[in-house]
Amino acid sequence: METSLHTIHISPTLGDVSSEVIEPEKLKCILTLAHGAGAGMNHPFMVALSHALATLNIGTVRFNFPFTELKKKRPDVPAVAHKTIEAAIQKTKELFPSIPLFAGGKSFGGRMTSQYLSKQVSEDVKGIVFVGFPLHPPGKPSIERADHLKDVKIPMLFLQGTRDELAHWELITQVTSALPLATLIKLEGADHGFKVPRQNILPTLATEIDTWITKLLART
């Protein structure tokens, strides 16, 4: 397994952000992994998930959004986040031109990825991985944030905990059941941060991602 640091150029006005690539020795695919609204690419969860995926021969490209790079607390507006996602995907294609490419992220990062890919069709991206889709704010159950998902034309994997305060189980089930390209994985007892009392479910997350990706790659 190799780890390397890179700079991703977004635009002259937005500048650059940091990224880290974790590349297993037997690389079967590469996944861009965008972080959530409350933590950057080096949050322990993000790092641990990348390492867990590497043991299954899935490489990752973690990267910061500009607000994290600049140490700001307020997340970027969608237009800025989308430009960052676009730049990260392009950088990943340059680094791994012949490797199957997937995109996704934790919470905010996953939602920004799907928003971008709902508007900008990319034949290079094989699917989207949501590590906790933030369907609604805490205490305000709704499904409007999922409206754009019907415009996504590639397979989607939703990893969701049954105690996720940002996605009531009944609502995320309702949303995904209406999406022909969606796969919903139920993680019993997990909250939005994928914490389960007396249990480490990171290996489970990695295994579910690997199983889904392996099935998709077998079809191509």
Report the DSSP pairing between strands 29-34 and 101-106. Answer: parallel
Distance between CA atoms of residues 64 and 99, nearest Å? 22
For 123-175, what is each residue's pLDDT tens digit?
899 999 999 999 999 999 999 999 999 999 999 999 999 999 999 999 999 99
Distance between CA atoms of residues 194 and 163, nearest Å? 9
Sheet of 101-106, strand order: 2-11, 15-23, 58-63, 29-34, 101-106, 125-131, 156-161, 182-187
Per-residue 3-state assignment (H helix, E strand, C coil) for 24-52: CCCCCEEEEEECCCCCCCCCHHHHHHHHH
Report the DSSP pairing between strands 2-11 and 15-23. Answer: antiparallel
Confidence of residue 197 (pLDDT cuts 50, 70, 90): confident
Residue 141 class from Cβ within 10 Å (0-12 exposed, 13-18 middle, 19+ buried)?
A: middle
Write down the pTM of the prediction.
Answer: 0.96
For 10-61, what is each residue's pLDDT tens digit?
999 999 999 999 999 999 999 999 999 988 999 999 999 999 999 999 999 9
- Find, among 178, 133, 181, 132, the residue nearest to 154 by Cα: 181
Residue 124: strand, helix, or coil: coil
**pLDDT of res. 123:** 80
Residue 144: strand, helix, or coil: helix
Confidence of residue 122 (pLDDT cuts 50, 70, 90): confident
**pLDDT of res. 219:** 84
**pLDDT of res. 166:** 96
Distance between CA atoms of residues 158 and 180, nearest Å? 13
* Dihedral (CA of 60, 65, 70, 74) sign: negative
Map out the domains of the chain as residue ranges: 2-219
Distance between CA atoms of residues 115 and 208, nearest Å? 23
Distance between CA atoms of residues 129 and 168, nearest Å? 19
Can you identify the CATH homologous superfamily of domain 2-219? Answer: Alpha/Beta hydrolase fold, catalytic domain (3.40.50.1820)
* Dihedral (CA of 51, 108, 115, 141) sign: positive
Cβ atoms of 84 and 10 within 8 Å: the answer is yes
